[in-house]
Structure 1
């Protein structure tokens, strides 16, 4: 268990690190967000292809695969826009509306069962997101993009559960990468930056950071029950706060910190509740 937890903590640090590199590229070096999105998926596809190409055979005719790829492509495009305009920690705080959206869609569309206490905890987490974003008061375009990214990501998670019974895990990973590359390619033409060593290094770091985080998370889930490791997903918020302070000199205000505490507390409570008192499957 200890080894799996350590891997999860590293994984949840790699993802914000990759996004920090994306923020430097877009906000400081003037690189177009669509270039960052396209290279991120392209690098991921190149890394995954040798290991998962067989799993991706024969699934492309399923329209749901393309729909899922479009959701993740749009979601990453939105969060990259958000990172250009808002602080790293605030973006992650707003983005964590995603698991709440996934919960609601899974209950509504996939007819998954849920306890009343889970719904209450989801509402508490949503209140945390509102404290981070503060719509109508201190909301920014960047946080608006982050909320939209979270909604798209929550829809992507639900679509993944929808496809899980008919497409293997390797196929899901590969199709979301290659599908996103195909869907974003028409928009990247004319947006390639004048390449420099710094841009090249940060481009690779952005793509590898995200990919490494997701692959390490899968390794951790193979070593131990996913339900027991799920609370550690929220370590991303802590990593984002630390990276935002160290790299950009940004610290969330008290409202945002309070919101993040609510998000983390509610998310961990939902995960613990599900692992200890799982809801019986429908018969």
Structure 2
């Protein structure tokens, strides 16, 4: 089967705009998942709704246009790995938001840019200097400020959020490796399909139908927002590296804080503001440092040429 895959292009501004659009869509995914958790639906069922709608929409609207080329992949191992990473991130995030406010789960999940930087060496072959390692360490101090281990405020579910962040970092790195190999739609059908296959056996052990109209809206919004948001993320990674895009993920914390306050009456506390500020400052420093290194490398190349 022939595959038509757009090549990787370096266009950071376009990538950032696409990422911001993806964030505005994905906030509906987080709010819907939290709403269904508060309504008492089991986490396995919520994940089934998330990926079931994801796959159904792709098969309904994309398969007739693309045909079996939709499943043609240049690297099925990476596609499987990416799907499992997305599943691990979703599971950790959905489980933790059952017990924690969106502000906390969001702040911990957005430590993934720090993890992307830390993993870029062994997985992408990029050099990470001591300054960025210090920034990574500072970011994890921000984590400690938010979760406050050893105090009454600490909840073990925070560890699930950190697990979600780790898998999100791996997901971002694998997505970059697949850019230029498989198209966004192919990546989406594999990610959603693999996650759906894994979660389905656990979805019907304690099935509970939504009891309110708004819960039904959230039930169907899960997959719709998920497939659209992650499709946009796949496209964004075609125009920029994970390290370039990672700092802009922090802007979604603003959406999460507002949603937590307005929808769930859980406003952020002072510890959140302090810890999140440390995490964001660390991520922005890493971004600025990498920009400086990239400019230096381009200058050296220009002189040599």
TM over 0.5: yes
Correspondent of 1:12 among 6, 23, 35: 23
Instruction: After superposition, give the CA deviation of every residue in 1:188-224 in whole Å (9 maximum; x if it has no partner).
Output: 12333224433321112222233333344456667x7
1:126 aligns to what SS in structure 2? helix
Q: Distance in 2 between matches of 1:88 and 1:116?
A: 32
Which aligned pairs between 1:152-191 and structure 2 lie closer than 5 A?
152-164=167-179, 166-191=181-206
Instruction: Return closer, same or farther for 1:151/1:229 CA change in 2, 3 Å cut-off.
Output: closer
Pair 1:170–1:275, CA change in 2 (3 A): farther
- Cα distance in 1 for partners of 2:50, 2:255 equals 20
2:275 equivalent in structure 1: 259
The aligned residue for residue 240 of structure 1 is: 256
Classify 1:5/1:113 alpha carbon distance in 2 versus 1 (closer, same or farther; 3 Å): closer
Q: 1:24: which partner in 2? A: 35
In 2: Cα distance, 1:14 partner to 1:217 partner: 11
Superposed displacement of residue 115, structure 1 = 3.1
Structure 1 position 91 matched with structure 2 position 102: no
**Superposed, which structure 2 residues align to 1:21-100 within 5 Å?**
21-27=32-38, 29-49=39-59, 50=62, 54-58=69-73, 62-100=76-114
Cα gap change, 1:37 to 1:253, in 2 (>3 Å): same
CA distance in 2, matches of 1:202, 1:153: 23
Aligned residue pairs, count: 279
Deviations 1:111-162 (A, max 9, x none): 2222332222222222212211222223213212111111222233333345
Pick the aligned partner of 1:147 from 130, 140, 162.
162
**Cα distance, 1:259 vs structure 2:** 0.9
Which structure has the greater CA radius of gyration? 2
Secondary structure class of the residue paired with 1:181: helix
Is residue 8–residue 216 contact of structure 1 (8 Å, CA) maintained in 2?
Answer: yes
5+ residue gaps, structure 2, are 1-11, 299-305
In structure 1, distance between residues paired with 2:265 and 2:53: 29
Q: TM-score, normalised by structure 2?
A: 0.79
Task: Note the C-alpha offset of 1:77.
Answer: 1.1
2:116 & 2:210 partners in 1: Cα distance? 38
Q: Any unmatched runs of 5+ in structure 1?
A: none
Distance 1:63 1:215, change over 3 A: closer
What TM-score do the two structures reach when normalised by structure 1?
0.84
